Chains A and B, each alone.
Chain A
Amino acid sequence: MRVILDDAILRRGSFQLTASGTFSEGVHLVTGPVGSGKSTLALALAGVLRPLAGQIGKEGIGSRTLALPFPEYHVTGETPGGEAASWGLLPAPVLEAAGLSGRGGEDVLRCSQGELKRLVLSCMLAREWDLLILDEPYSSLDCAWKEAFSRRLGERRKGITIIFTHEDEVLPRVDEIWEIQAGRLVSLGRVPEAIPRWSRPPAYIRAALDAGALPENITPGDVRDAVCRTRG
């Protein structure tokens, strides 16, 4: 199961991004500042945007989906329970995972954007996908829910999961880190070797690296452990 980018040149308006590399099974983090082309790349990997030049090939990919930053686009159920059912899922476990137990029959218009985000992400994560692309999955979530979804994302073992985010407080366990630098997608390699190569890591990782610690992964817990080990 692989997604292969072969010098793909992507353009949206006046913006252009060049991407090369292979996404294999595991959890991948693609970072870059706002406006660096993360959403453009997400759309291209999902097969929505065709490259201007080069190719994007997929091997062994059957099921795939794309989570857009705003959850409203995905909702087709009239209630949270109906929304879970629209994904072919049993409502109770999904509602529990989204923190909406007991509200399965409520009008979906009464849910806040954060609640809708939890609901849609819970529905997507409850299913198996060969290719799961998440564009800014942490937007609209508070810190506690960011941590909860980070744990669940880090636990994904099957298929290719690609997370596009500029989040700098909470990140999941990942297998590989990619960074968009000056209009080009750069593979930093596998974790933990990739962490010191990160040009713009979140502040908590930067502080750990400055203190001489090399975390095993990029979750706040991993970074805390690494700092503790360094201090002895």
Chain B
Amino acid sequence: MQDPRLTLLSTVALSLAAFASAWGALLALAWWLLATPRRLPLHRWRSVVGLFILVCATAALVALSGGNGPSYLFRISVVLLIASWAYGERRGGELLDMGTWALGNRTGFELGLIAEMAVQSLEGLDRDLAMLRLALRFKTGGRITLRSLVPALGLLVRRELDRSRNLGDILAVRGYRKGGSLCPGFARGPWDGPKAVCAVGIALLALLP
């Protein structure tokens, strides 16, 4: 999907559908199978396994407290699958474009800019954590203790704060006060519209009584 507005709409609709019922989750899964390249973030298998264990544990708690544990496990897994697809679809600058398109050059621009900076920071932290793991692999042979992680993580947080301060300074030096001027542009694939309509349809089927 090329149009980020339709990607966001589809993500929200399918997430609601998957969370609402097992049938909704099944339809959302079918949508994912038919409408996306079906790529799983397997290069991040540790994170995927960790997240899945967390969801399994929560599902077990739901089952123990009298709820439908397997249904919860299935529904949340599909929500995460859709979220993973949406994250993989994102491109730099689209949040700024969407914010400005939706809410204009002042509030929308500012919200979009904040969102872009937040995503950049998350990506920076992700890279930092990968490098931290690598450095510790050489230094400690992979033996990582909480005590050894605290200074490293503290320094990474400080680095991130410095980065944010520098970014703020750059914006101030360039004369940024509030809002901005932007003509958002969106590419659209030939199947973007039908896919989004299907996603909204699935949400309506799952949510309407």
Contact = CB atoms under 8 A, between A and B. Distances in A.
Interface of A: 46, 48, 64-66, 68, 70, 72-78, 83, 86-87, 108-109, 116
B65 interface: no
A51 B155 CA distance: 32
A217 to B, nearest CB: 29
B161 to A, nearest CB: 11
Q: Which of B149, B154, B155 neighbours the largest number of chain A CB atoms within 10 Å of its CB?
A: B155
A68 B154 contact: no
B139 interface: yes
A48 B152 contact: no
Contacts of A68: 131, 134-135
B128 A73 contact: yes
A78 B158 CA distance: 14
Nearest to A110: B158
Main secondary structure of the interface of B (DSSP, over half): helix
Q: Which of A65, A66, A76 neighbours the largest number of chain B CB atoms within 10 Å of its CB?
A: A76
A15 B97 CA distance: 29
Contact of B151 (A48, A64, A75): A75
Contact of A109 (B128, B132, B138, B154): B154
Given A46-B138, A73-B134, 4 more contacts: A70-B131, A70-B159, A72-B128, A86-B148
A48 B134 contact: yes
A76 B146 CA distance: 10
Nearest to A69: B131
